[in-house]
A and B are shown apart, each in its own frame.
Chain A
Amino acid sequence: MEEAKKLNWTILVFIFFFFGCNKENISIGIDVQDYFYVSNKGAKMPVLVEGNTASGIILVWVHGGPGGTSIGFENDAYISKYLETEFAVAYWDQRAAGGSQGSFTAKLQISQYGDDLKKVIQVLKHRYGSDSKVFVLSHSFGGLVAPAFLTEGDNQQMVNGWINVAGAHNYILNDTLTRKYLIQFGNEQIKLGKHVSEWQAVVNEAEANKPDYRLETSTNLNKRAREVEAYIEDIKTVDGLQLRDLILGTTTAFSFMWTASNAGSTFVSDFPKDLMYAEYSSKLRSLKLPLLCITGKYDFTCPRGLADEVMLKANSTKKRLVILPHSGHICMTNEPEIFYPEIVKFVKENL
């Protein structure tokens, strides 16, 4: 009996130590793939670093959503071709998104996302050298996370530039512009006789949904903004990642079910409602770092007017606006042959 008890304890201690081991693997090379987690305020967020870490340049990808994923983009052939050969790309899945995992954390707040990004950059510099040159690339909702980080204290000193792709830095302005563009462009299309019944329905709904800080109004406008891209023949599409790739997990380090669960946790929280009041327009003047704004001509989800405001208000001496002529909201998948070379050019100009 005593011997059996001893055996049980030995087995339990063995299991505890066996799975508790955790060591640091840091790769410096031209074609690396490192995966690690950053823990902050109850969230364990995955970071996948791919590409050329030997370059000393890291591009941190801040995804959209809320509740999207960066790691889902990892095997995009265009990113591998254009970005990962030149420098390292750090795909970070935000809290309550992608492959991140957490306990019963505090309420989701945009300032917390900004702090998480700061911690991710600190860890990247710890791993790949404190002299690493870091650029932040944010897309859509990431355009709120990036200024939440950049406009706080002296955080701008930590990075060499900000690439703001179809960013949503001000929610109520975003909804106002979406409505305006839908009505304006919709009426033009009706006059031209293109998809008349569809555009008429869009215009009617846009007119009925005047932005009022309510999630329902914002969701209605957003839904229409995504829908109308199907009516515009001028938007280019290229072969990219398909939904089946994400579901079947053919992309390394991506869990479809966990991502779906995380998206659910964002959806049921108060965060989407709180976001209606989120804005960084009033803090944009504090930006002094090099800035590249990229937006699609036919982006109704985060329309061009948002990029215009960032360009106008940021006090950066080096700033450039690029409008992709055949793109919608996910412009990196519409015109990757223009999108990625622009990023490489910007990074090289600001080393």
Chain B
Amino acid sequence: MPKFVGMMLRVYLCILALILFVLSSQNILAQALDKPLASIIFRNSLLFGINTYGFQTGLGKQVVQLQKKKIYRNGNEKLITKHRSIFFSAGFYNQAYLHLNIFSTMEFSMVRVNRKGWYREFMPAIGLSRTFFHETVYKVTDNGAVELKRFAGDWRLAGGFSFGFGKNLALKKAPDLHDVYLKLNTQMFYPNFRFIAFKPSLVFGLNVNLSRHKHSYRVISKTVYQWKKQKN
């Protein structure tokens, strides 16, 4: 039980530290540029896997919005909106007995939204990670002396992709809430013995608008005439 409590405390402090780090970084950037950061999205998510839990937080900016209006032969119209955003995230996952892995990634989010606000997302990512061991790590010197190895772990390239479903909230009472989502995430780490290690997880997240300024992304609109009947 004490080990479990200690681990939860570690996780809590880590989350706190990462949030402070991200927010203070954002603050520094805002002061340096001497202007408010428009259309910045603050992304927070929880990661779950078998014997695994984690947290990821980051800042993102929507870079382009594609609007496609489909007009069918029977006169019906369908509006599809696609968002393209870039996120910079930091986070960790922890698996008991395996390791704690802290990673920082750049993600390219591709979202397709329907009129009711439900969306699906595909998001490839690339970055760096560093593992830390919970347990004692020993090394044996050439003359047979056994020593403890401090800060044992591995630097790896961290990549991956995730598929998710979400809902744009756009609530009048809480305009800062951007959306909530659930994703199946597969992280890949290279190298692990000259190969790739896979780490799948389920991600539950919440995006928040950091400011209510007018969005500064590019909007591309397109109208498509569909000569087939709309499926009911």
Contact = CB atoms under 8 A, between A and B. Distances in A.
Interface of A: 1, 4-5, 7-8, 11-12, 14-15, 18-20, 22-25, 35-40, 43-44, 46, 95-96, 99-105, 108, 119, 122-123, 126, 247-249, 252-258, 260-262, 264-266, 268-269
A122 B20 contact: no
A99 B50 contact: no
Contacts of A37: 133, 135-138, 152
Interface stretch (B95-103, B159-167, B208-216): B95-103
A102 B140 contact: no
Contact of B50 (A46, A249, A261): A249
Given A20-B132, A101-B154, A268 B195 contact: yes
B191 interface: yes
A261 B156 CA distance: 15
A249 B51 contact: yes
B127 interface: no
A35 B138 CA distance: 12
B230 interface: no
20 contacts: A1-B28, A8-B25, A11-B17, A19-B100, A22-B133, A25-B136, A35-B97, A37-B133, A37-B136, A39-B149, A40-B140, A101-B98, A101-B154, A105-B194, A108-B193, A126-B146, A247-B50, A253-B96, A255-B51, A261-B192
A155 to B, nearest CB: 12
Chain A interface mostly: mixed
B225 interface: no
B21 A11 contact: yes
Contacts of A96: 193
Contacts, number: 151
Contacts of B154: 44, 101-103
Nearest to B196: A261
Given A119-B140, A258-B98, A248 B197 contact: no
Chain B interface mostly: mixed
B196 to A, nearest CB: 7
A44 B137 contact: yes
Contact of A20 (B10, B144, B150, B155): B150
Nearest to B50: A249
A45 B212 CA distance: 51
Given A101-B192, A102-B192, A264-B195, A36 B97 contact: no
B128 to A, nearest CB: 14
Nearest to A7: B24
Interface of B: 10, 13-14, 17, 20-21, 24-25, 27-28, 31-32, 50-51, 95-100, 102, 131-133, 135-140, 144, 146, 148-152, 154-156, 191-200
Contacts of A44: 133, 137, 152, 154
B152 A258 contact: no
Nearest to A14: B17
Contact of A256 (B50, B136, B140): B50
Contacts of A101: 98-99, 131, 154, 192, 197
Across chains A and B, which 7 residue pairs bring their CB atoms closest together, nearest first?
Answer: A265-B195, A253-B97, A126-B146, A261-B197, A265-B193, A96-B193, A19-B132
A13 to B, nearest CB: 10
Contacts of A260: 198
A36 B137 contact: yes
A257 B152 contact: no
A8 to B, nearest CB: 6
B24 A8 contact: yes
Given A8-B21, A19-B132, A23-B136, A262 B151 contact: no
Given A1-B31, A101-B192, A20 B151 contact: yes
B24 A102 contact: no
Contact of A4 (B28, B136, B149): B28
A104 B154 CA distance: 10
